Amino acid sequence: MRPVPDRILDGHEVARRIRDGCVPLIAQRQERGRCPSLVVVRIGDHPAAQVHAEAWTKEAATWGLEVNVAALPVDTSARKAAGILKGLGRDRAVDGVALARPLPENLNERALQEALPPAKDAEGVHPETLGRCVLGRPGLVPTMAGAVLRLVDAAEVPVRDARVVIVAGPDAPVLPAALLLGRRDADVTLCRPMAADLGRVTREADILVVEAHRPALITPDMVKPGAVVIDAGVNAVPDEERAGRLRLAGDVAFEAVCGVARAVTPVPGGVGAVSLAVLVENVVRASAPPTHDDGTTAQLPLFHY
Amino acid sequence: MRPVPDRILDGHEVARRIRDGCVPLIAQRQERGRCPSLVVVRIGDHPAAQVHAEAWTKEAATWGLEVNVAALPVDTSARKAAGILKGLGRDRAVDGVALARPLPENLNERALQEALPPAKDAEGVHPETLGRCVLGRPGLVPTMAGAVLRLVDAAEVPVRDARVVIVAGPDAPVLPAALLLGRRDADVTLCRPMAADLGRVTREADILVVEAHRPALITPDMVKPGAVVIDAGVNAVPDEERAGRLRLAGDVAFEAVCGVARAVTPVPGGVGAVSLAVLVENVVRASAPPTHDDGTTAQLPLFHY
């Protein structure tokens, strides 16, 4: 079975549209004397942290942002790391900060995420960022949940009255999307990957979101014909075409599910690509903060989560 | 049909147990020289704000806390009000602060809620409080969502693998309970009160939580036999026993549903009573803050949300 190209919900295309939406704001900032500015903080040299840091740096630079990388030694103390993040929080020349993970083992990820002020939280990992987003208050957005909303939006599927099923574990970054979609009058079901009779639940979904990190968990028989399927899983699986090598795959049996669904996000090139764009968009948002005093969002030409 | 007394999930009883759980901590604080301390801020004299302020004051005093009421004039400016809340945030003699609502019309509720530091947020209304709770990080708890967890706990019903249905509008304070119950491996469905075929969804619930503010929305035919029903609705309805008077009622046809369900919370005396206890417990929590530096909760003898 071959994928039907027009059933691919292309994350790169959605990311490009997010960038296009930010161009006027970036230009406006440039006219006022400086670009939106991102600082990428990387501590130590874990390969995965390097990959993240490089992807963020490249994407933000492509958008025309100013990007600086703060590469700190692997033996940076917790106090020193927190101090640097707090310093970036106070630095008026910095709009957004992103901290590449994994961190060296002596550092606590949560504590450092909370050392960053929510107003500069490019990744949307501070608890206040999540709370503001879920409460519909102006602020930045957790990138993964934001990416789900943008993909649903791009699929041009009605959200009001839609049945949404989110298959994810208890700490999955995708979970806040449940409350964001609930705010848009969808009926949302959270379902664990281990749930008995998972297919019975997923088959009812008009919009199916999966973040289980289990390759091919979602097979065509578990998908309602015409559904939108958003695959936030990332797995390394054997590459059939190159013996002994691994390739990336999501949680959805992609080609087969393309034969049933209306639209499916690929992995790679789906949720990950959009999350990256949402991260950079967060920096642009941060550079043009809404007025908080009266509790309303400023009139920004930006997506409303 | 008459209510079956042992099917009433009594909020006052649950509240009493929450208080009992806090007694050792309060005593410990007293031995160290002072009680946990709550400041109730009331601006203007709206009757509902007075009712809230008095209920909080009375409950906290009953627990043995130190309570002070800051009653501010109705013409208090936004700047002045925010300044007072920030001042209480810095005051080391104050553990928790609660702001009675509704506020005078010139004041923005959200802005004032955010003026208070999350560490003293007795009501759990700051976005960071919500985010911390949903992410499972140490902190206080939004009172309504916390009350739902405590009532589920008191009903002694298994949460793992349970089907939970939450019937609520997009801004309902009860909604974060979805993610808290999801963290405990329940399958959770969020459903709007207006949903077509509501009964079909609610009938699948082992645990049914309702915050629709529509009297008698939930009738016995919509409830699975043996389910636990938590009624977070508050409505003023005509009092059949006193012509021309109103009485409080929830969203559940209480007496009739008692004939089907395993346990039902009454209104009044259910979620509201427990929310009040969770608010005071938040002050006790705030007076013995966990160590945040390493991201772990201190070994407090307090409920883990």
What ipTM was assigned to the predicted interfaces of this complex?
A: 0.88
Under the banding of pLDDT at 50, 70 and 90, the label for residue A5 is low
Work out how many CB contacts closer than 8 A connect A with B. Answer: 121
Smallest Cβ–Cβ distance between B132 and the set A127, A171, A185 belongs to A127
Judgement on whether residues A121 and A165 belong to the same structural domain of the protein: no
Determine, yes or no, domain membership for B148.
yes
pLDDT of residue B301: 65
pLDDT of residue B268: 96
Judgement on whether residues B267 and B279 belong to the same structural domain of the protein: no
Residue A294: pLDDT over 50: no
Judgement on whether residues A185 and A70 belong to the same structural domain of the protein: no
Q: From CA A18, how far away is CA A90, in angstroms rounded? A: 28
Determine, yes or no, domain membership for B301.
no
pLDDT digits over A70-104, tens only?
999 999 999 999 999 999 999 999 999 999 999 99
Cα of A282 to nearest chain B Cα, Å: 18
Cα of A2 to nearest chain B Cα, Å: 34
Is omega for the bond preceding B3 within 30 degrees of 0, making it cis? no
CB contact under 8 A, B111 and A190: no
Which residues in chain A have their CB less than 8 angstroms from residue B170's CB? Answer: 182-185
Structure tokens at A174: 């995708």
What's the structural domain count of chain A? 2
Judgement on whether residues A159 and A240 belong to the same structural domain of the protein: yes
pLDDT digits over B119-163, tens only?
999 999 999 999 999 898 989 999 999 999 999 999 999 999 999
Judgement on whether residues A182 and A255 belong to the same structural domain of the protein: yes
Q: Which residue of chain B has the CA closest to A292?
A: B111
Q: Which domain holds residue B216?
A: 5-9+143-271
Q: From CA B147, how far away is CA B153, in angstroms rounded? A: 10
Residue A1: pLDDT over 80: no
pLDDT of residue A102: 96
Q: What is the rounded average pLDDT of the residues B244-262? A: 96
Q: Which residue of chain B has the CA closest to A113?
A: B295
Relative orientation angle of helices A127-134 and A176-183, to the nearest 10 degrees: 20
CB contact under 8 A, A130 and B129: no
Determine, yes or no, domain membership for B171.
yes
Determine, yes or no, domain membership for A1.
no
pLDDT of residue A206: 98
What CATH number is associated with residue B44?
3.40.50.10860
pTM, 2 dp: 0.91
Which are the contacts of A268, defined by CB distance < 8 A and separation ≥ 6?
A: A248
Under the banding of pLDDT at 50, 70 and 90, the label for residue B106 is very high
Angle at A279 between CA A210 and CA A5, to 5 degrees: 50
Q: Which residue has better confidence, B303 or A266?
A: A266
Determine, yes or no, domain membership for A198.
yes
Nearest-10 Cα torsion for A137, B273, B183, B197:
-80
Q: Classify residue A139 as left (phi > 0), alpha (psi -120 to 50) or beta.
A: left
Which residues in chain A have their CB less than 8 angstroms from residue B111's CB? Answer: 292-295
Judgement on whether residues A111 and A159 belong to the same structural domain of the protein: no
Share of chain A above pLDDT 70, in %: 94
pLDDT digits over A38-61, tens only?
999 999 999 999 999 999 999 999
Determine, yes or no, domain membership for B159.
yes
Cα of A243 to nearest chain B Cα, Å: 38
pLDDT of residue A2: 54
CB contact under 8 A, B170 and A185: yes
Smallest Cβ–Cβ distance between A129 and the set B131, B190, B201 belongs to B131
Determine, yes or no, domain membership for A296.
no
CB contact under 8 A, B176 and A108: no
Are B182 and B200 in contact, with CB atoms under 8 Å apart? no
Cα of B134 to nearest chain A Cα, Å: 8
pLDDT of residue B119: 95
pLDDT digits over A99-138, tens only?
999 999 999 999 999 999 999 999 999 999 999 998 989 8
Under the banding of pLDDT at 50, 70 and 90, the label for residue A296 is very low
Which are the contacts of A87, defined by CB distance < 8 A and separation ≥ 6?
A: none
Determine, yes or no, domain membership for B22.
no
What CATH number is associated with residue B211?
3.40.50.720
